[in-house]
Amino acid sequence: MQPESARPSRRELLHAKLDALIDKCDLVAHNAKHGHIFDEMENFFLVEGRQFLQETFQEQVQERVKQLEATGEGKQCPHCKKNALQR
């Protein structure tokens, strides 16, 4: 396990993922047939862009859940007796 200071920040990881997405985008644009760049780019962002957003939001939510659990901000639901996290 790396020391806390040696681990990249969440922002740095996000930038690295975004850079990788842009690199893929450049490849798609470069390899697209003449007259098909717009369609290829649209398809790329519909699939890859959606996946990027889903992964990013999922990571954000998971990080928030971990923070709430660590601080003990969860409470038990009086109706279903399950633990729920407070806002």
Residues 13-23 have pLDDT tens digits of 899 999 999 99
Check: CB of residue 86 under 8 Å from CB of residue 75: yes
pTM of the predicted model as reported, rounded to 2 decimal places: 0.65
pLDDT category at 63 given cuts 50, 70, 90 is confident
Residues 47-62 have pLDDT tens digits of 999 999 999 999 889 9
Residues above pLDDT 70, as percent of the chain: 77
Q: Judge whether residue 2 has pLDDT over 60.
A: no
CA dist 17 and 67 (Å) reads 23
